[in-house]
Amino acid sequence: MKNWQETSRIVARIRELNAADRRMALATVVSIAGSAYRRPGAKYLIEDSGDTLGGVSGGCLEADVRQVGLELSPGAQPVLRRYDTGDGDTLPWALGLGCNGTVEIFIQPVTNATARLFDAIRTLLGRDRPFAVTTVIAGNGAGNAIALSETERIAGDCQPALGQTLARFARRHLVNGSSGIDEMDGMRVFTETPRPPPWLLICGAGDDAQPLCSIASIAGFRVAVADHRPAFVTATRFPHANRLLETRPENASIPDGTETYAVIMTHSLKHDRAWIQRLVGTALPYLGVLGPRQRTEDLMNTVPDAGDRVYGPIGLDLGGDGPEQVALSIVSEILSVRAGRTPGHLRDKETAIHAV
């Protein structure tokens, strides 16, 4: 979920650095086993100045990965490094962290050809559609990559035969919506399939909507804020919003579909009711309504067939107080609904944290 926006920031920075003829390296998580902080596809850009962007762990691997990236010359071969995060310290790159996992990270110098490919990826990110990027991470041609969408292929510096092979892997993963490693003829190939992150539509631009917008954005959502009052829907008030909609419910053109979640918080019965009536007929899987239970029930009595998509009172029971903590409980609830998880303490979970 976070990879889309993280990748967007990284490819934009690669463009800037390449234009300035600066050296850089890019690290990508390509596989994990056991406990791991980031999923495959997470990226970490290392600039020649030592500055970095993104991340491949919670901070335990970055120092070593950064050092490897700084030592890679522009013409150097990429490096595939496997980190053991168990409690031992005798294996190569064993860290003695006690996390009981392994993480493979592909670290490559960003050449002109790589930069051109990431410039094309920047275009694909702007089209708001899933796509696939397939990279040779070990064996002949390590570092060669292609990107393709549902309708087009963008090649890097691959030879035609290699490009065709990579395209087959990319198309299969794109159709399946999966990311992972394939092996063929002594090559290991990693494919990631970035998917556009979900939208959060906030209906109402009061002061308590501001921390909700910020926290949702940090969590990886794209955020649209809608209100009919022009003085409230401004970039100054909502610097993290992707869209600002000066609109009334009946005229609203909103991000629609099963990957859009909505929170109604206008603090007006009239406007809340209008937003519920506008949204209840859509495919949105989650409609949260701010306010006490009786108020929400009174609102819903006027809207037939709302179903169990309506959450009110909104948020998880975290015992929070104030708009920031309320916002955190709302985003937590939306994440649990999106993941199909019943909220609970991770210490009570008997399987791996990220197990389906």
Say how far apart CA 8 and CA 230 lie, in whole Å: 29
For residue 198, the 8-state DSSP code is: P
Q: Is the pLDDT of residue 18 over 50?
A: yes
Distances (CA, A) of 231 to 205, 213, 235, 247, 312: 10, 17, 10, 12, 28
Say how far apart CA 325 and CA 319 lie, in whole Å: 9
Q: What's the pLDDT tens digit per position in 79-105?
A: 999 998 765 554 444 444 545 678 999
Omega within 30 of 0 (cis) for the link into 313: yes
Beta bridge partners of 201: 224, 262
**If pLDDT is split at 50, 70 and 90, which confidence band does 355 have?**
low
Q: What is the mean pLDDT of the chain?
A: 89
Q: Is the pLDDT of residue 198 over 80?
A: yes
Q: What's the pLDDT tens digit per position in 252-311?
A: 887 767 789 999 999 999 999 999 989 988 889 999 999 999 998 888 887 766 667 889
3-state secondary structure of 323: helix
Q: Which residues contact 325 (CB under 8 A, 6 or more apart)?
A: 318
For residue 192, the 8-state DSSP code is: E
Say how far apart CA 236 and CA 216 lie, in whole Å: 17
Q: Is the pLDDT of residue 215 over 50?
A: yes
Q: What's the pLDDT tens digit per position in 37-59?
A: 788 999 999 999 999 999 999 88
pLDDT over 70 percentage in the chain: 92
Q: Is the pLDDT of residue 335 over 60?
A: yes
Q: Is the pLDDT of residue 23 over 90?
A: yes
Q: The tokens of 177 are what? A: 């919506």
Count of CA atoms in the C-beta half-sphere (13 A) of 41: 21
pLDDT at 258: 77
Q: What's the pLDDT tens digit per position in 145-194?
A: 999 998 887 766 678 889 899 999 999 999 999 999 999 888 999 999 99
Q: Is the pLDDT of residue 69 over 90?
A: yes
> What angle is formed at CA 96 by the lines to CA 95 and CA 102, rounded to 5 degrees?
60
Q: The tokens of 238 are what? A: 């909502």
Q: The tokens of 294 are what? A: 């009786």
Say how far apart CA 353 and CA 37 lie, in whole Å: 10
Element (H, E) at 27: strand 24-34
Distances (CA, A) of 201 to 29, 173, 280, 303, 341: 31, 30, 13, 20, 21
pLDDT at 45: 97
For residue 43, the 8-state DSSP code is: E
Place of tokens 């990431």: 118
Which domains are present in the chain? 3-192 (no CATH), 199-339 (3.40.50.720)
